A and B are shown apart, each in its own frame.
Chain A
């Protein structure tokens, strides 16, 4: 059974059709990188998987639970799939540790001491145990994003969704976030990552998916995807991201 199964997914915003029939199956432990031009629907696709957007039609099954099935507990699905946002969205009125433990305390009903221990463990995992008592506004962008990853991991999700996790970062801070993501991938986490970091895709992805205007135009293992794209539009896109100054 795949970890995520998407069948003929359509999504409209009003009259605008943003996802035009997506079929996608992702196995447990697989790392899938989604690339595509801005506005092609990548974020919308991720957000549908986490039910942050309502699907218009089609079906998404996460770990055997259908998102459209009325009997599915949506809050439970959201904890199955952790989401990391481009803008971090840390809770500014909470310390780093409080950000991480909020989910365990309120959703998992963990005891505070246990939650704090677990939270410290996760902060350690992302290399920030010394920042536990610090508020987000005192962290660098890279540190913020690592805390956001720890916050998602605190729900012990089966899947991690990353929406351009390094796009808002200064170039010198990108590496530390990608390192954490690579560690997760090595540990066998199922990951869906929207990113323009082609190096990361090449090194970590099992599969690269090119989304173009609301459809999956092509998908292949990274070596094949980058060396031998099948469609002209894919080649044009790759030309632009690999050589951003060429116009």
Chain B
């Protein structure tokens, strides 16, 4: 049987795929919102002078970075309920996984950005009488934040693509929606192509938004 490409299949799948996109975006944004909170906290703990706090943050970062996302989400959704006797809804499990996972990488981004600021900045700030906290708040952080934008953008894109792994727990995001359409019409080529284009459109939009943020907010010229 010769393969005949049918563009109308692509058009027809768009409305249903849009519901998947919606969920993909929600999971990514909510997940990354908490991921940033986890990451900023863990990143700053890794810079703290307290050894215990440093070790704690380090253990979190290492255990997440050293295990696959797929295993993390299955552990959270299928594994944990066995132990605690309570199942969390798949969407929540997905968001929590993305948050915990991105948090570990964001922790390293935050730590790296803060450490990349010349120690002379902290010294100059302290020398005019600012407390350590004020020096961080007014001098180090604003500069570090600017340096975090490109790697955070990168993480944004990675996390967005990672949400497709949530198919294993049946969250109806973009990839899952594609699978469902194919199970009815068997047009794998057209549907996966459409799904791929949609992911690409999303990631390119993120890149664009981030370069605008860099330019308008942080005055970075390209």
Contacts and interface: CB of A to CB of B under 8 A. Distances in A.
Give the interface centre of B126, B129, B142 by most chain A CB atoms within 10 Å. B129
A55 interface: no
Given A85-B120, A93-B143, A93-B146, A102 B130 contact: yes
A111 interface: no
Give the interface centre of A83, A89, A90 by most chain B CB atoms within 10 Å. A89
Given A91-B139, A92-B143, A93-B146, A103 B130 contact: yes
Interface string B119-133: 011011111111100
A103 B49 CA distance: 25
A152 B127 contact: yes
Contact of A151 (B121, B128, B134): B128
A149 B69 CA distance: 52
A29 B64 CA distance: 59
Interface in B85-141: 118, 120-121, 123-131, 134, 138-139
A201 interface: no
Contact of B128 (A92, A93, A103): A103
Interface stretch (A63-71, A72-80, A118-126): A72-80
Given A89-B118, A91-B139, A102-B138, A107 B123 contact: no
Contacts of A6: none
Contacts of A83: 123-124, 127
A85 B123 contact: yes
Nearest to B218: A93
A103 B131 CA distance: 11
Contacts of B134: 106-107
A119 to B, nearest CB: 13
A78 B124 contact: no
Nearest to B141: A93
B120 A52 contact: no
Contacts of A52: 123, 126-127
A154 B123 contact: no
A155 interface: yes
Nearest to B139: A91
B131 A75 contact: yes
A87 interface: yes
Given A89-B124, A102-B138, A107 B130 contact: yes
Given A93-B146, A106-B134, A79 B124 contact: no
A79 B129 contact: yes
B150 to A, nearest CB: 17
17 contacts: A52-B126, A52-B127, A79-B129, A83-B123, A83-B124, A83-B127, A85-B123, A89-B118, A89-B120, A89-B123, A90-B124, A91-B124, A93-B142, A102-B125, A106-B134, A151-B128, A152-B128
Given A85-B123, A92-B143, 8 more contacts: A50-B127, A52-B127, A87-B118, A91-B121, A103-B128, A103-B130, A106-B130, A107-B130
Interface of B: 118, 120-121, 123-131, 134, 138-139, 142-143, 146
Give the top 7 A-B pairs by smallest Cβ distance, nearest first: A89-B124, A79-B129, A103-B128, A83-B127, A107-B129, A89-B120, A75-B129
